[in-house]
Structure 1
Amino acid sequence: MRRLAALSIPLFLGLAGTALAQPVRLTPAAPPPNQSQNQAQEEQKPQQPATAQPAPVQQAPVQQAPVQQTNVPPAGAPAGVPGGTTAPKAGVVAVETLSAPDPSSAGLLGDDNGGLGIKMWAGTSRAQAERVIGLLPAPIASPTLRQLQRRLLLTTAEVPAGQASGENSLLGLRVHQLYRLGLNAEAADLGVPKPQALRDRVFTALPINLALQKHDIAAACPLGARALAEEPSEAAWLRVAVFCRFKNGEAASGELALSLWRDQGGEDTAFQALAAIMGGDSRVKVEKLAHVDPLIVAMLRETKRPLPPGSIEIAPAGTLAAIADLPELDPEMRLNALGIGVALGAIPPQRLISAYTQLEIPEAQRADILAGKLKGARAAAFLFQQARELNAPGPKRAEALKRVYELAAARGTLFMSAVVLRETLRDLPAEPESLSAAPAVIRLALAAGETGTARLWRNSLLSQTDPALTTIGAQTWPLLVLVEPPTAWPEAQFQAWSETLKNLPPQRKAALQAMVLILAEASGVPVPAETWQAMIQPGLETSTSNPPVAYWRNLLRASEANAKAETVALALILLGDNLAKDDPATLATAFGALKRLKLDAEVRALALEAALLRGL
């Protein structure tokens, strides 16, 4: 699914990348002089926040500043010491200065609830950490990649050594990326209230955006006014002022803010049109949005203007719920917004299930859907109704699920479709007359996490004597071998599956075979060297599916150095755009790096997702 994320109240103005925090806790004061320096550097247990939070923000241990020493060497000691300082004279008190806690170490996840470890940035410089966090993909349709990135961004960890590379803090970058992922609650937990020691603009913009997304104008406008008072010439806050002043009936003041915004270089045709409408010019039309952000959505709601076509596809994940709540939204667009939001993990599946269930579809449209003439969100809703509402499992329900899968594959919504049909797929009987739909049912069941149903349908296929059903069973072999990895390589089954590819061009057949071998190894299946050696055939020497060399090389370096967080981040960057592509080299590199970090469960889940996305 091709999507662009845009923010016009920028979470970062000047942000060089593409991720939230809690109040920073202060650690206890330095220990008395009679304690050892090692005792002084022990980790302190984080205190509880003053207000209840969904999860506690954990603070990494405070790092001590170097000991400041006198320049008088002790008797018998050399005058110089490494670093250009001298050892303190016996009996002279040495002074230690504790550095302030770095708020960027804060997080919501520790070792006991999914964190990647407090030392996860060991071996990585601060500049490199900021660089890779800024490049993380968002939004992400892969459930496993999205969860792994969430863990990376929310882990409580010591800040990497070195100087910051820019004006944005490590915490601010993480908050920004969480917001881009559509994880608004986590962003708020980590970034509100603003840490006093940090000046990232994200901490000012975040609560304004979140309030606008809830259409809480009473909260958003005072926040915007406060931001404008601190930075009177900042274009982002002037935009908020334009909206709030027109909303409050202050036309002259709104025009003044709009003029100042233009003076600061503001160029946004849709924003200016919506401001004009709020100012009383009803002749203005909004036909297209160059970008979508919470402020634009709030202005559309206030002016009762319809959402222009193409807007949902470019909207940030976290804004999709607000878009779906627009009163004037076309039903098809509402379903589309909810569907994309569920697919990206930004909207609970139950909202889409309710919308699908309540939608009334005229008989004429039903016929067009069954004939394959309509293939949008309304068609998905109708097929969902068919699959859910048939009284008894059997050929009709299986055929409906087959159509659901075909439409989901065409629209790129496999995981979303599977999750809303999870209850239907659970323990669905595999009746002989329904087995022609087995590939669709197996893939939907695996995408929904219902491995028992997938196993039941494949076993039913294997028990049949019909040659057509035997071929179908062979076609589904790669999926089940990933779900239940055997201890020995099943060469006969691999060859039977390969036989089903005999009508494909040699390059395509070899690519699929290589992909299955890569995914099998990632899942822990030992592929013999002889099987790989048989893949070396004339005409298959060249390949255009190479990962970006710089990212690939950095991933290998980080993996060899056991730099955990950096390795995870670089693997996410490579896999974000390649999980659904025929690029076994990239998958092998990224999977190998993650397995070296003992993330085997995540790699197995990613291997299955990759297989499903390729229709294996």
Structure 2
Amino acid sequence: MTLRSRLLLQTCLLAMMTGTGLAPGTANAQNSAPVPLFLKQEAQQDAVTQPGNDMPANNGTTGSNPGGFGSGSTSVNSFPSDPNAVQSVTLQAIDAEAVGTLDPSQGGLGVDMWNGTTRKSAAKLVSELPATPATHTARDLQQRLLLSVAALPQDTPKVSLLEARVAKLINMGALDGAIDLVRATPQGSRGAMLAQAEVNALLIAGRIDDACATIESYSAIYDEMFWLKAAAMCALHANDPTSAAFSVDLVREMDGESDATFFGLVAAIRGGTAVDADLLTDLRPIDIALLSIAKQSIPESQLETGNAVSIIGLTNAVATPTDVRLEAAHKAENLGLISAQQLGDIYSAVNFDPADLENALDDAAEGVQARQYAKLYQAAAKSDVPAVRAEILAALFETAQIEGDFLQAARLCAPLVEEIPINGDFSWFAITALKTSIAVNSIERAASWLQVAKSSANPGNDISSRLSLLYPVLAISGLEDTGAPKPNDDAVQVNQDVMNGATTNQPRFGLGGAVTPAPTQPSQTVDLQALTDHRSRMTEWQEIQAASSDQAAARRNAELVFNLYDGFGIEVPEGAWNSLLIAPYAEERTTISSVVNHYLRVGATGNQKAKTVAMAIQAQQIATMPNADPKALADTVAALTMVGLQADAQHLAVELLLASDR
């Protein structure tokens, strides 16, 4: 007897026992979405330009399938002479694999982003993307790559790029994106993998009610063991022991008790006992749901595994001890598994004594770092006096800077910083507000805070020196004019030169010895005053670096800045590299493989946007590693700029610089 037959028998028996009729489940109304308009238009165009049609295409040639969206024959009758006659047209099949939730106006990478890439290699690129990109900028790029509406090559139609995209979204914890992508796919085009992925994403997110509704809608279609275990889980969630017993017994009959974790969790729910911790080492989405039903917490040890399922589960589960949940949420936001708003909600839910919040700046720090952040965050949020709020935020940011959490603190507290008035009364807070605004890409507010800082700088404060230390971030983010070419064709050429290994003023050698040519002048007019100011500011920055107590860190920071400048076509002042010319010259570096570097260059120069983005994400994985090769990071921002992603390149570079500022 097949599993489907057994499920039908179970349903019939239940119907007889309860006296109810059998009503087939219906799919969720959100499961079907309109086919993107560009695909419809392409299919309609192909329908009238197929070989063998009586009517040629508008250009007088026989039609073909240039976009490769569909397959199969399409026939069109000759158009009748009567313009009012009804004409029947049979459209080609639409490639459901091209579905997405982001078009270019929403941050998508464009319909032609897979240009120059085979479907098989595209699926490989997607599957090998990191589960935890090293930076939030790269994570955002990766999610946009996976969610973009795009035409696909038809070389290997049996390879499912859609399944690879959904699997990677779940792997990286982008659960809402995975669910939306599955539901944007026409119902009839989904296979078992997509259906299971939708359910798993809902379970990981803790949306058990939604998951069970989805399981019911698919129950008449698929008969794998996954669905029987899911049915048992839903029956337990609904406190329906009879249905649960049927499903659990069928699992045992069909598969034995090989799944010890599943049966251990079921026994714990039925008996109200604790689950054996040894069964909870490699948790699946259904295990997370069963633990929630059992009202038991995920082992704290799972926090160190890096398993996105466990970390999100620890963050969402009500049964998780408060301090463990705070640490899980802190880690989850850093990895991009939850948003800064979700982190703020979790921090806001912690119970603190009102007196502790009133004296947050005077009390001793909490034993758990995330708990200290939560206390300061709550104290700042509850203060309606701007000066007091700014003082509390300044303390939070100071702690975060020391702990290496500044970027997270910026994402978390940006809404609170926005409520601080931008004027001279808060000049002491201007640099912190400036850095925070840059970190969250609020450049207009950053420009206003920069103006406050500059106008308030005087010999009696340290604002001037702090601005000098921040200068490379200001330069790359566009808040200071460096005299570099703006992001147009000239900037692209500069980055093309960087990708090809060219440098400015490169000497050539002849019979008369080395000859240094005159600097290449960009086709646009250079602002000489801006260039002079840039050189002066860089001299000030280098002097501060030279006075640093940690010269090794200062040297690494200078290398990163100079390489990023090269990537953006910003001048590294003459002689700046000389300060780094210290033997030994051979160093042990963490860098990217030559094949990644090769395809990064090939993709960028060939305007293959998806391949370039995939390789850029791989290349920046070294960003947080010790002794990371800054040249690889320079190539990364240069490649992104070349394919039109200048803003993403800037965000990545700024994130790298702010993260390195300890």
Does the alignment reach a TM-score above 0.5? yes
Q: Secondary structure at the match of 1:464?
A: coil
User: Percent identity between the aligned chains?
Assistant: 24
Name the counterpart of 1:386.
379
Name the counterpart of 1:615.
661
Distance 2:93 2:659 in 1: 48
CA contact (8 A) 1:41 1:64 kept: no
Residue identity opposite 1:455 in structure 2: L
Is residue 295 of structure 2 the alignment partner of residue 304 of structure 1? yes
Name the counterpart of 1:570.
615
CA contact (8 A) 2:302 2:310 kept: no
CA contact (8 A) 1:447 1:609 kept: yes
Distance 1:545 1:348 in 2: 30
CA contact (8 A) 2:97 2:161 kept: yes
Question: Which residues of 2 match residues 133-212 of structure 1 at below 5 A?
Answer: 133-140=126-133, 142-163=135-156, 168-192=159-183, 195=186, 201-212=192-203
Distance 1:531 1:403 in 2: 35
Flag the 1:580–1:512 CA change in 2: closer, same or farther, 3 A. Answer: same
Is residue 148 of structure 2 the alignment partner of residue 127 of structure 1? no
Name the counterpart of 1:545.
590
Name the counterpart of 1:72.
none
Flag the 1:590–1:399 CA change in 2: closer, same or farther, 3 A. Answer: same
Distance 2:308 2:252 in 1: 31
Flag the 1:392–1:222 CA change in 2: closer, same or farther, 3 A. Answer: closer
Q: Secondary structure at the match of 2:150?
A: coil
CA contact (8 A) 2:366 2:372 kept: no
Q: How far apart are 1:380 and its partner, in Å?
A: 0.8
Q: How far apart are 1:258 and its partner, in Å?
A: 5.0
Name the counterpart of 1:482.
476
Q: Secondary structure at the match of 1:421?
A: helix
Distance 1:424 1:176 in 2: 36
Distance 2:117 2:395 in 1: 49
Flag the 1:344–1:66 CA change in 2: closer, same or farther, 3 A. Answer: same
1:222 corresponds, among 216, 230, 233, to 216
Distance 1:360 1:411 in 2: 24
Q: Secondary structure at the match of 1:552?
A: helix
Name the counterpart of 2:27.
none
Name the counterpart of 1:371.
364
Deviations 1:271-306 (A, max 9, x none): 443122123262544477323443222212211112
Distance 1:379 1:385 in 2: 10
Q: How far apart are 1:104 and its partner, in Å?
A: 1.4
Distance 1:292 1:407 in 2: 34
Flag the 1:193–1:276 CA change in 2: closer, same or farther, 3 A. Answer: farther
Flag the 1:220–1:163 CA change in 2: closer, same or farther, 3 A. Answer: closer
CA contact (8 A) 1:21 1:171 kept: no
Residue identity opposite 2:196 in structure 1: A
CA contact (8 A) 1:140 1:576 kept: yes
Flag the 1:587–1:267 CA change in 2: closer, same or farther, 3 A. Answer: farther
Name the counterpart of 2:286.
295
Is residue 252 of structure 2 the alignment partner of residue 279 of structure 1? no
Name the counterpart of 1:249.
241
Q: Secondary structure at the match of 1:403?
A: helix
Give the root-mean-square deviation of aligned CA atoms.
4.0
Deviations 1:18-50 (A, max 9, x none): xx995667734832421238574588xxxxxxx
Flag the 1:384–1:244 CA change in 2: closer, same or farther, 3 A. Answer: closer
Residue identity opposite 2:593 in structure 1: P
Q: How far apart are 1:504 and its partner, in Å?
A: 4.5
Distance 2:278 2:142 in 1: 36
Distance 1:388 1:194 in 2: 41
Name the counterpart of 1:89.
none
Name the counterpart of 1:602.
648
Residue identity opposite 2:446 in structure 1: T
Name the counterpart of 2:96.
103
Name the counterpart of 2:438.
446
Residue identity opposite 2:393 in structure 1: L
Is residue 62 of structure 2 the alignment partner of residue 62 of structure 1? no
Is residue 596 of structure 2 the alignment partner of residue 589 of structure 1? no
Flag the 1:281–1:242 CA change in 2: closer, same or farther, 3 A. Answer: same
1:424 corresponds, among 413, 416, 428, to 416
Name the counterpart of 1:459.
454
Q: Which has the higher contact order (CA 8 A, sep 6+)?
A: 1
Flag the 1:66–1:358 CA change in 2: closer, same or farther, 3 A. Answer: closer
Q: How far apart are 1:518 and its partner, in Å?
A: 2.4
Distance 1:324 1:546 in 2: 33
Residue identity opposite 1:159 in structure 2: L
Flag the 1:218–1:102 CA change in 2: closer, same or farther, 3 A. Answer: closer
CA contact (8 A) 1:288 1:308 kept: no
Flag the 1:368–1:224 CA change in 2: closer, same or farther, 3 A. Answer: farther
Flag the 1:314–1:220 CA change in 2: closer, same or farther, 3 A. Answer: farther
> TM-score of the superposition, structure 1-length normalised?
0.75
Q: Mean alpha-carbon deviation: is it higher for 437-446 or for 290-299?
A: 437-446
Q: How far apart are 1:493 and its partner, in Å?
A: 2.1
Name the counterpart of 2:503.
none
Flag the 1:498–1:528 CA change in 2: closer, same or farther, 3 A. Answer: closer
CA contact (8 A) 2:297 2:320 kept: yes
CA contact (8 A) 2:133 2:617 kept: no
CA contact (8 A) 2:568 2:637 kept: no
Distance 1:65 1:260 in 2: 44
Residue identity opposite 1:380 in structure 2: Y
Name the counterpart of 1:35.
56
Is residue 545 of structure 2 the alignment partner of residue 501 of structure 1? yes
Q: Secondary structure at the match of 1:279?
A: helix
Flag the 1:397–1:519 CA change in 2: closer, same or farther, 3 A. Answer: farther
CA contact (8 A) 1:485 1:523 kept: no
Residue identity opposite 2:55 in structure 1: N
Distance 2:406 2:435 in 1: 9
Distance 1:546 1:156 in 2: 32
Question: Which residues of 2 match residues 298-447 of structure 1 at below 5 A?
Answer: 298-312=289-303, 324-340=315-331, 342-343=333-334, 347=338, 349-362=340-353, 370-372=363-365, 374-390=367-383, 392-394=385-387, 397-409=389-401, 413-426=405-418, 427-428=420-421, 435=428, 440-447=432-439
Distance 2:413 2:596 in 1: 38
Q: How far apart are 1:154 and its partner, in Å?
A: 2.2
Q: How far apart are 1:98 and its partner, in Å?
A: 8.7
Distance 1:193 1:433 in 2: 48
Flag the 1:287–1:332 CA change in 2: closer, same or farther, 3 A. Answer: farther
Q: Mean alpha-carbon deviation: is it higher for 347-356 or for 130-139?
A: 347-356
Q: How far apart are 1:208 and its partner, in Å?
A: 1.7
Residue identity opposite 1:222 in structure 2: E
Distance 2:459 2:173 in 1: 49
Distance 2:265 2:402 in 1: 35
Name the counterpart of 1:558.
603
Q: How far apart are 1:244 and its partner, in Å?
A: 3.9
Q: Mean alpha-carbon deviation: is it higher for 206-215 or for 299-308?
A: 206-215
Residue identity opposite 1:500 in structure 2: I
CA contact (8 A) 1:63 1:101 kept: yes
Distance 1:475 1:241 in 2: 59
Q: How far apart are 1:420 and its partner, in Å?
A: 2.9
| Unaligned segments of structure 2, at least 5 residues | 1-30, 75-89, 484-530
Residue identity opposite 2:470 in structure 1: T
Flag the 1:562–1:431 CA change in 2: closer, same or farther, 3 A. Answer: closer
Q: How far apart are 1:198 and its partner, in Å?
A: 5.5
Residue identity opposite 1:185 in structure 2: D
Q: Secondary structure at the match of 1:119?
A: coil
Residue identity opposite 1:30 in structure 2: A
Distance 2:315 2:568 in 1: 39
